[in-house]
Structure 1
Amino acid sequence: MLTRHGVTEQQWRVMRVLRETGEVDATKLAVIACVLAPSLSRILSSLKGSGLIHVRHDPEDRRRSLISISESGEAFLKEVAPESSRIYAEIEDRIGLENIARMLDDIEQLLKALDRSADQANG
């Protein structure tokens, strides 16, 4: 579905995060959207080139970029979201809400374990 609309899954995720959080700095956006910083740079460049987001320098710290969804980005999300919701509903029907919740819990536990391992390795 996303390919038909000309965006990648990561671009879609970044735009949805921006819609939910409002303007945010690139570091926080990378964490919330679960995207590595080098990948985020490419994603932002592409989305900015398409006019789907705005990127500006923080007036208090010019090294920091602040990113927000543009009006075009909002319109794009509004157009594509119903189809996305139908697909998620179909997945939920096939797999079941309990199984999805269990998988998400398992993924969260995995991520926490990986974070702990990284913390232990770093110090």
Structure 2
Amino acid sequence: MSNTFKHRNLPHLFLSAREALMLRFRPILSSAGITEQQWRVLRILFDEKHLDAATLAKRAQVLSPSLTRMLRVLEESSFVERHSDPQDLRRQIIRLSALGRKTVIRLSPQIEAVYLELETAIGPRLLSSIYQNVDDMIQRVQGD
């Protein structure tokens, strides 16, 4: 065993945790014909009235060119609506359409059921602690 590293590979550990979690959510999204990235966008827009494209890309952790392509697909599928910002015509404002909102609401019981399964498997205390600790870590690493 090498003594080169004193710490475990934390980014890899988070990727492993993400994959373990997404195995539970993917079938739901797949059955709805929605990709993981599209779900992130829809879920964020569900919680916000509307967002500009740059803010949405940052919050959804999607590169701007990828978001542009994804928004085209989501708009063609009638999940989102895009409009120019009246104060700055270069900016696009994105919001969920009625169909997008209905889709998120329709999937929410299945998504929430997965969260309840997770809570049962690991316990509400640990789940709450994970949320708090990850939020704290992000805030400290970003220096906010």
Q: Report the TM-score range of the alignment, normalised by the length of the smaller protein.
A: 0.7 to 0.9
Distance 1:19 1:115, change over 3 A: same
Distance (whole Å) between structure 2 residues aligned to residue 112 and residue 87 of structure 1: 27
Residue 92 of structure 1, aligned match among 113, 119, 124: 119
Give distance in 2, aligned partners of 1:71 and 1:45: 17
> What's the RMSD between the two structures over aligned residues?
2.0
Residue of structure 1 in register with 2:99 after alignment: 72
* CA pair 80-29 structure 1, distance change in 2 beyond 3 A: same
TM-score by length of 2: 0.70
- Which AA in structure 2 matches 1:110? M
1:44 aligned partner, one-letter code: L
Q: TM-score if structure 1 supplies the norm length?
A: 0.81
**Which range moves more in the overlay, 77-86 or 34-43?**
34-43
Cα distance 1:39–1:95, how it changes in 2: closer, same or farther (>3 A)? Answer: farther
- Of stretches 66-75 and 21-30 in structure 1, the one that deviates more from structure 2 is 21-30
Deviations 1:71-121 (A, max 9, x none): 1111211221111111111111111122122222332233234424xx9xx
Query: In 2 relative to 1, CA 3–99 (structure 1 residues): closer, same or farther, beyond 3 Å?
Result: same
| 2:82 corresponds to | 55
* Secondary structure in 1 matching 2:78: coil
Structure 1 runs, 4 residues or longer, greater than 4 Å off:
none
Correspondence for 1:28: 55
Identity %: 34
Report the secondary structure of 2:81's partner residue: strand
**Counterpart residue type for residue 12 of structure 1:** W
Cα distance, 1:113–1:37 mapped onto 2, change above 3 Å:
farther
1:110 matched residue in structure 2 = 137
Q: Secondary structure at the match of 1:66?
A: strand
Alignment size in residue pairs: 117
Cα deviation, residue 66, structure 1: 0.2
What letter matches 1:30 in structure 2?
A
